[in-house]
Amino acid sequence: MMSTQTNQTVNQTARFSILSQDQKQRIFEGMIETLRNTGVHLHHEEARKLLKEHGALVDGVAVKIPQNLVMDALATVPPVTIVQSWDGSKKTLIEKNQVLFGPGPTPPNFTDPHTLERRKYVRADAAMVARICQALPNIGFVQSLGTISDVTVSLADVYEFAEMIQNTTKPILSWSYTRDTCRDIHQIAIAVAGGEEAFRQCPNYVFYGEPISPLLSDFHAMDKAMYCAKHGIPQVYTPCCIGGGTVPATHAGQLVCALSESMLGVVVAQLINPGTCVIMGGVQSIMDMQYSVYAYGAPELSLLSAALTEMAQYVGLPMFSTAGCTDTKTLDPQGAIEAATSVHSAMLSGANFIHDVGYFESGMTGSVLQLVMADEQIGMSHVVAKGIEVNEETMAVEEICNAGPGGNYFDTDHTKKFAASLWQPTLMDRQSYEDWAAQGKKTMKDRVIEKTRDIIANFEGPISKVPEDTKKKIADILQAAEIREAKKAEAENK
Amino acid sequence: MLEKTMLIKMNQQVHGTTMFQILTEDQIERIYFAALDVLEISGARIFHKEALELFASSDAMVTETNRVRIPTSMVEQALGSCPSKSNLTGRNGKRSVKLQKNEVAFGSGADAPFVYDRKTGERRKSTFADVEAAAKIVDYLPRLDFCMSHGLVSDAPNSKTYDRHQFLAMVKNSTKPLVVTSVDGDGLKDQWEMACLIRGGEKEFRLSPLFATYIMSDSPLMSNNEIVDKLLFATEKGIPTIFSPCSGLGVNAPATIAGGLVQTLADALLTVVLCYLKKPGLPLILGGVQTIMDKDIETLSYGSPELHLASAASTEIYKWLGLLSSSSGGCTDSKVVDEQAASESVMSIYNNFMAGTNLIHHVGCIDSGLNGSLSSLVMCDEIIGMIKQIGKGIQVTDESLALDILKEVGPGGEFLSHDHTYDHWKEWFRPTIIDRSNFETWTENGSKNYTDRLEPEVDRILESHEPEPLDENIIQEMKKIINLADKKEV
């Protein structure tokens, strides 16, 4: 059809905003002022030396960062980073407003999907979580939902990555205890990618590291960040800020802190390797004053995360956000309320990696049931977030006039063309009461459990496509790491 | 710290609340123009005698087959006469709902034929007592602003007067403003008379309406005679009127949401014109349910994301036209209060609240509108609190930026014991049924899930909350009106 339109502004998606430009500018200025005047504590000598060489004021562990260092770092961060799945099947873009959801790392406990009991997280769980993530259409990246308890303690991070990367082609966000295990993970990724050069061209995972709030980086956090920067591994450098605990109770103050803490990682990484990808963000919520718990289901988490995402977009950094998590201890409506609220907020905000989908109990337990439920909520949120297409064809004036008052649209060509694009639920029930009752009165929880068990039983994942020699290389890396850690333990015992 | 006396940061524009937008003004205009096209080219079909006469004596064209086609000029003239605000005020004059741009109110609803018996758990027809119980809960809950009949009174003396009984059940048990449904024009008249008794007269009601009437149309562009009767009566008496055209995408509306919006808007604009022809100035609150319809069982989905999207977009369109808006929210297709009910309630409350819909009704309705749940009402009250917290946005001031506090505490410090935290943590949302205790505490307290905690709270409200009583003389006067209707309709 020939267009007769001119001067049209359209929303291709819904638009959502917490902060005005002026508000963002003030928070940005707050970060500049905080790094310049209050500064940070940095427990890494080499990093301090580097910062001092570039004009930072260093006094013991205290480092004050002048604004030109921040501005220079922001000038070299990449606008686009590409992460490729190891089999080459899919590229993931890390760029402004490109949204992906995924689980989170490291809860000590896990909800067993068969017994529904809370138990320790084991090695086999890492493979299972990766497979479930692979099967869920609205989950875009993979984290483990637990810390492996049945391997050498100091290598739980490496075993986790080795299990996950063979069971998913979606990007993995890995973490590590130390530079050593950070390197082990890197080596596995190189083995899977088919060599160092191939990995450098297109990395197949993102590393996740965490400074400590407020305004403090311990040795290992900075050491790993420097390793990743040097080797061009895209990395997340983000704190967990606890409003009223480790940062001010007012949201604006929390945003200043969170931004400042990530910015330290950005500055160091850009000094080491200008153009390397650093993702800011983190978990942003408040301390529940009744129970002294870090509230993962609080609406403040949604609000702060969306606002921090706007700050990330303002400074030109990708954002690691949080959603789909809950303070409930079991799959129930509370988990659904809290997850739906944060999922929709994070979706609308346009964050890049939205993590912690599947966290129960304020991050103390990982649950694939919560993950499977949230996958459906993300699907619902997506329908709203993508907005409404308004054009001659979708407005259907001709159809409406042809059908006439009280007309029927069933089976028309227009309906046949567009009805398929309406959302199809997989866990939401829309049957009549009678049909629902006849089928055993199942609640959504029952359906979530069924779907989860069905995926576990029947979904293969890509493990059979991992070449034998790659598997061998992974086993060798694990073995070498075991020997190294054993020697370390021995040395410590002496 | 710097002395702030003479320092001022100029030209600061802030978001006073969170901002949310589905459509641009250009997109809204296109939908509006398309709706005007529909009214000019195809129009609507009306059978009501007085309405046909009103149209025939205007510039509209009325055909032999009762098709009414309306020129744009008439629509725009009528739009100019719609009031931009109207307040609903509860019976004691203390609790009110502001109907004006970007003010949001939530309420129960609506006319669900079934309920789960709270003693036996059995699904049965809802009664007068059920509507009373729901009204009592609405009266108690802090985030519900108006009361709409949660259930259909099935134990009224006859099926044509249940609306008067619902009115009595609600007004007795809640001092919040009401939204009513009426069987027909006579029913609305009786409800209005009862409201005038409470308010003290017809002009008093006009200045300060006690209720809005909810009129649903499920046949697009073809309002039946009962609907028109109610519309004309409401127009005459100045009763704020919610007009809500309902349709199923791809069944009795186009399968595209934009098409559904065009059809709904055409229907709404037709109503605007009709009311204008009767008497300019009716406060019209326009809504619309465009959702997935199961064509075999003919039920509309109350939980589909398409409904949430279309409702938010409708609100934006009505706001742009300077009209008041309504939609359903806090409802679900789930048959029980479970994770589905929670998810769908969150999504609908979230999007409608952020869009700024004036009246969000049907809160607490489950089973695609067939079951009025008290538990869901209480759950949604908490959800509304959470969504409102997000909707507040973030204040950015010297006090909230807290740079000096951050400097004082320093790297590695803690804020828990600082006065600044004490001064501000009460601004946070505090949950009621949602539980944030750790695993050990939760286990010690009996490992209760959300529903286990929700049900006793519903019982507690029902047992302990005493709504402010309504003057017994007024109740007797109202009963006379009801009895008269009961006898007449037999």
d(CA B259, CA B253): 7
Q: Say which DSSP state B138 is in.
A: H
B283: pLDDT strictly greater than 70: yes
List chain A residues with CB under 8 Å of B418: 248
Binned at pLDDT 50, 70 and 90, residue A494 comes out as: confident
CB contact under 8 A, B436 and A288: yes
Binned at pLDDT 50, 70 and 90, residue B8 comes out as: confident
**What pLDDT, on a 0 to 100 scale, did the predictor assign at position B339?**
98
Nearest to B30 among A40, A395, A443 (CB): A395
Interface test with B, best of A380, A389, A436 (most B CBs within 10 A): A380
Query: pLDDT by residue (tens digit) across A429-454?
Result: 999 999 999 999 999 999 999 999 99
Q: Which amino acid is at A343?
A: V
d(CA B112, CA B131): 10
Nearest CA in chain A to B423: A249
CB contact under 8 A, A252 and B428: no
Nearest to B15 among A18, A256, A396 (CB): A18
Residues 6+ apart with CB under 8 A from B338: A333, A336, A443, A444, A445, B451
Sheet holding A205-209, edge to edge: A100-101, A353-355, A319-322, A278-281, A235-237, A205-209, A172-174
A413: pLDDT strictly greater than 80: yes
CB contact under 8 A, A348 and B411: no
Q: Tokens standing for A157?
A: 């991070």
Residue ranges in A238-332 assigned as alpha helix (H): 251-272, 299-315
Query: pLDDT by residue (tens digit) across B132-155?
Result: 999 999 999 999 999 999 999 999
Query: pLDDT by residue (tens digit) across A62-84?
Result: 999 999 999 999 999 999 999 99
Nearest to A14 among B21, B342, B402 (CB): B21
Nearest CA in chain A to B293: A430
Smallest Cα distance from B469 to chain A, Å = 35
List chain B residues with CB under 8 Å of A249: 415, 420-421, 423-425, 427-428
List chain A residues with CB under 8 Å of B436: 288, 290-291, 293, 295, 297-298, 327, 362
Among B89, B4, B29, B78, smallest CA distance to B316 is for B29
State residue A272 phi and psi, 5-degree precision. Answer: -75, -45
Query: pLDDT by residue (tens digit) across A79-103?
Result: 999 999 988 888 999 999 999 999 9
Share in percent of chain A as helix, strand, coil (round to 5) = 50, 15, 35
Compute the average pLDDT of residues B235-254: 96
How many inter-chain contacts (A to B, CB under 8 Å) are there? 451
A286: pLDDT strictly greater than 90: yes
Nearest CA in chain B to A5: B30
Compute the average pLDDT of residues A315-319: 98
Sheet holding B114-116, edge to edge: B123-125, B114-116, B371-372, B365-366
* Contact (CB, 8 A) for A323 and A343: yes
The structure's pTM equals: 0.97
d(CA B424, CA A194): 54
Nearest CA in chain B to A375: B343
CB contact under 8 A, B295 and A410: yes
Nearest to B220 among A23, A297, A405 (CB): A405
Binned at pLDDT 50, 70 and 90, residue B113 comes out as: very high
DSSP of B55-82, one letter per residue? HHTTTSEE-TT-EEE--HHHHHHHHTTS
Compute the average pLDDT of residues A335-345: 98
d(CA B354, CA B331): 17
CB contact under 8 A, A405 and B433: no
Rg (CA), chain A: 24
Interface test with B, best of A369, A390, A424 (most B CBs within 10 A): A390
E strand segments, B70-177: 86-89, 96-99, 105-108, 114-116, 123-125, 147-148
CB contact under 8 A, A214 and B406: yes
E strand segments, B182-323: 211-217, 241-248, 284-286, 289-291, 293-294, 299-300
Question: Distances from the Cα of A254 to the Cαs of A216, A283, B25, B280, B342, in angstroms?
Answer: 14, 11, 35, 52, 30
Nearest CA in chain B to A426: B340
Binned at pLDDT 50, 70 and 90, residue B293 comes out as: confident
Q: What is the mean pLDDT of chain A?
A: 96
Nearest to B343 among A14, A340, A345 (CB): A340
Report the DSSP beta bridge partners of residue B246. Answer: B289
